[in-house]
């Protein structure tokens, strides 16, 4: 088993949307193609990219992680005889000190995704099946629960336009949707809260008042006072979850919020390692019977690290079903189905071509089936495959 070629590129995924913390006018993504040759001379090319919210990492890839992978030579096979991304991952991380994950975890995550795509292609099975066989006693879910993430702030977008957007998601087969809150620029807390309550109530009306069909996302904007004020105001709606109300690394403040806000909280998309995730579990006051963990394998050193995170969660009494990764990509969808997570995010209208799933698998009642093709399934998503093939 050896890696014979690695190519990388940068593609724009810019758009006029904004959440409460950043706008996406300059957003980019790294894409890579990694070719792996098996012992019997067959080869497969796997693709990887980073999900939205973090920028492309061409420098880190070119200077450290690609040269290390290129220098690695012969790699040991997995016990099942197939390609094993774990030794390649270890080679990539040689001479990296612990802590301070930042953008490094994004660069490694991009390559890790490509290594898993190649591993499943060499085994001639979908990645969800490879993962179920290697790590889940062969048990894969029939389908994945997904929800439509949108409701971004955009210049000139009023409450009616927000409701129209959510209506389109329902028309696409989603029954659960998510909207941004806490992002009205230049407003005081009271004024912003009143406007957001109008926005939330308008969407709830579309959802027949069923709060469990709506999630709201603050993108880490609030301090404790604003998080508690919003929490008190939305507590009665029965929302599916209240996402990233606080800075992702401020664990003790999460614990305080969780003492005062009983309904489900969700966070974790901006924690990039098993150790950061463990600190959240140890110190964040989150509740394994209701809260939702959104660690995104594509941004956090890939699936090799995500397997460690799942193990850590089990040791702390958390089910993998509490995990619903951020990012809306096919990689996390395969992981959700193969390893028994709670579901996956989806972006029906933004972050093209990386958002969305295989062309042939429609969404029904917020559930989706997986295509039965080797690898992650990029070849079954034509707009994304066109970008990856260019490499």
* From 101, 129, 254, 326, active-site residue: 326
Residue 253 C-beta: closest distance to Mg ion, Å: 17
Size of site (CB under 5 A) for Mg ion:
1
In this complex, which beta carbon is closest to Mg ion, that of residue 196 or of residue 217?
A: 217
Question: Is omega for the bond preceding 353 within 30 degrees of 0, making it cis?
Answer: yes
* 152 marked as binding residue: yes
Of 337, 331, 372, 378, give the one whose Cα is nearest residue 358.
378
* 50 marked as binding residue: no
In this complex, which beta carbon is closest to Mg ion, that of residue 38 or of residue 52?
A: 52
Residue 149 contacts residue 343 (beta carbons within 8 Å): no
The Cα–Cα gap between 205 and 226 comes to 25
Q: Which stretch binds Mg ion (CB under 5 A): 57-65, 189-197, 212-220, 245-253?
A: 212-220
* 270 marked as binding residue: no
Q: By CB under 5 A, name the one of 112, 196, 217, 276 that touches Mg ion.
A: 217
* Secondary structure (DSSP) of 36-70: EE-TTS-EEEEEEEPPTTS---HHHIIIIIHHHHH
* Secondary structure (DSSP) of 119-140: HHHHHTSBHHHHHHHHHSTT--
The Cα–Cα gap between 380 and 32 comes to 18
- Residue of closest CB approach to Mg ion: 217
First to last CA, the chain: 22
Rounded (10°) CA dihedral 93, 96, 100, 104: -50
* 326 marked as binding residue: yes
Q: Does 112 bind Mg ion (CB under 5 A)?
A: no
Residues 44-63 that bind Mg ion (CB under 5 A): none
Residue 241 C-beta: closest distance to Mg ion, Å: 10
Residue 53 C-beta: closest distance to Mg ion, Å: 8
Q: How far is CA 252 from CA 247, 266, 281, 285, 331, in A?
A: 11, 15, 11, 7, 32
* 279 marked as binding residue: no
- Active site includes 180? yes
* 212 marked as binding residue: no
Find the angle CA(123)-CA(338)-CA(380) to the nearest 5 degrees.
65
Residue 102 contacts residue 90 (beta carbons within 8 Å): no
* From 121, 180, 329, 381, active-site residue: 180
Residue 3 C-beta: closest distance to Mg ion, Å: 34
Residue 104 C-beta: closest distance to Mg ion, Å: 21
Site string for Mg ion, 172-211 (x = CB under 5 A): ----------------------------------------
* 103 marked as binding residue: no
Q: Does 291 bind Mg ion (CB under 5 A)?
A: no
Q: Which stretch binds Mg ion (CB under 5 A): 107-115, 213-221, 254-262, 354-362?
A: 213-221
Q: Buried b / exposed e across 207-242, counting CB within 10 Å, b at 16+?
A: beeebebbbbbbbbbbebebbbebbeebeebebbbb
In this complex, which beta carbon is closest to Mg ion, that of residue 126 or of residue 151?
A: 151
The Cα–Cα gap between 296 and 50 comes to 10
Binding residues for substrate: 19, 52, 97, 152, 178, 243, 269, 326
Binding site for Mg ion (CB under 5 A): 217
Binding residues: 19, 52, 97, 152, 178, 217, 243, 269, 326
List the catalytic residues. Answer: 180, 326
């Amino acid at each position: 088993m050896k890696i014979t070629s690695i190519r990388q590129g940068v593609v724009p995924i810019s758009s006029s949307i904004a959440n409460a913390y950043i706008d996406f006018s300059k957003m980019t993504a790294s894409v890579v193609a990694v070719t792996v040759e098996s012992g019997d001379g067959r080869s497969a090319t796997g693709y990887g990219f980073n999900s939205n919210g973090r920028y492309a990492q061409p420098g880190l890839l070119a200077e450290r992680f690609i040269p290390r992978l290129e220098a690695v030579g012969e790699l040991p096979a997995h016990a099942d005889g197939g390609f094993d991304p774990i030794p390649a991952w270890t080679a990539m991380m040689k001479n990296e000190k612990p802590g301070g994950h930042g953008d490094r975890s994004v660069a490694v995550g991009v390559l890790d995704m490509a290594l898993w795509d190649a591993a499943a292609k060499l085994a001639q099975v979908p990645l969800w099946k490879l993962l179920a066989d290697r790590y889940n006693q062969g048990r894969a879910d029939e389908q994945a629960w997904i929800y439509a993430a949108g409701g971004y702030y955009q210049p000139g977008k009023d409450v009616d336009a927000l409701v129209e957007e959510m209506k389109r998601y329902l028309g696409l087969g989603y029954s659960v949707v998510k909207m941004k809150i806490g992002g009205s620029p230049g407003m005081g807390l009271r004024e912003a809260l009143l406007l957001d309550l109008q926005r939330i109530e308008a969407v709830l009306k579309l959802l027949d008042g069923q709060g469990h069909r709506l999630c709201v996302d603050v993108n880490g904007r609030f301090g404790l006072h604003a998080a508690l004020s919003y929490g008190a105001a939305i507590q009665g709606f029965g929302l599916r979850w209240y996402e990233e109300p606080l800075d992702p690394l401020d664990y003790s403040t999460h614990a305080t919020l969780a003492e005062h806000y009983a309904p489900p909280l969700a966070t974790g998309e901006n924690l990039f390692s098993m150790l950061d995730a463990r600190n959240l579990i140890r110190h964040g006051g989150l509740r394994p019977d209701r809260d939702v963990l959104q660690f995104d394998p594509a941004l956090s050193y890939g699936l090799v690290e995500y397997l460690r995170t799942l193990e850590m969660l089990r040791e702390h009494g958390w089910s993998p079903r509490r995990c619903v990764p951020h990012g809306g990509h096919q990689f996390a969808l395969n992981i959700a189905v193969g390893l028994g997570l709670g579901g996956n995010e989806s972006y029906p209208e933004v972050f093209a071509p990386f958002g969305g799933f295989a062309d042939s698998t429609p969404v029904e009642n917020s559930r989706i089936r997986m295509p039965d093709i080797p690898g992650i399934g990029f070849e079954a998503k034509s707009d994304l495959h066109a970008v990856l093939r260019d490499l």
